[in-house]
Amino acid sequence: MVGAISNEHIDFFNYLGRSFLINSQRALQQCLESLVQKIQIGVVVNLEKVMSEGDSERSAWHTCRKMIMIPRSLPKTEKTEYNWPIPEDYWPTAATLSLPPRSAHALIKFQTTPCIPVTDKFPFDKYELEPSPLTQYILERRQPTMAWPVC
């Protein structure tokens, strides 16, 4: 049985502008199910564009912190295994006693490079980047002859 909740505790249940008043076990279960549906699975990373010779100045989308989201469900035709594309910047050995300190959010540096178009049969992992000025820029200039390799 859930006890009475005072007004000061209601603020703790405010999520994305929606308040939940929990006064029964059933209400608690409904609120938790609602919150779980909104959870995104992924990793927060820092993204930074490496400036090339043709770039004149930095734009807002050149440096940002965004979440790379992993899809909740995949069509049965797609594979369900992923190879995480973020390597560590060191190679551990048997003599390593502790891991070197690092940022909680990986830094991924990328650049834009002209390339030949790749066929649809080329295997690669697909990740979704949360909406941002960077994703808007990529979508507006989507070209099969441009690659965005990670440096």
Per-residue pLDDT of the chain (151 residues; tens, 9 = 90+): 455 555 555 455 555 556 667 788 888 888 888 888 878 778 888 889 888 777 777 787 888 888 888 766 655 665 555 555 566 777 778 888 888 888 888 888 888 888 887 777 776 666 788 888 888 888 887 787 888 777 7
2 occurs within a structural domain: no
Question: Is the same domain home to 75 and 24?
Answer: no
Same domain, 17 and 59: no
DSSP secondary structure of 67-96: EEEPPS---TTS----------SS---TT-
pLDDT in tens, 33-59: 888 887 877 888 888 988 877 777 778
Regarding beta strands 63-69 and 146-147, do their DSSP bridges make them parallel or antiparallel, or are they unpaired?
Answer: unpaired
Q: Please report, for residues 66, 88, 106, the alpha-carbon distance to residue 102 in angstroms, rounded to integers and kept in the order given.
A: 18, 9, 8
- Is the domain of 14 the same as that of 80? no
On whether the CB atoms of residues 145 and 112 are closer than 8 A, the answer is no
**Do 24 and 59 sit in the same domain of this protein?**
no
pTM above 0.75, yes or no: no
Q: Which residues pair with 64 in a beta bridge?
A: 47
**In a shared domain, residues 46 and 103:** yes
If asked whether residues 13 and 82 sit together in one domain, one would say no
Range of the domain at 16: 7-38
Structural domains counted in the chain: 2
Query: Over the stretch 68-83, which tens digit does the pLDDT of each residue have?
Result: 887 666 556 655 555 5
Query: Do 20 and 46 belong together in one domain?
Result: no
Closest C-alpha among 41, 45, 44, 43 to residue 74: 41
Q: Are residues 124 and 148 in the same domain?
A: yes
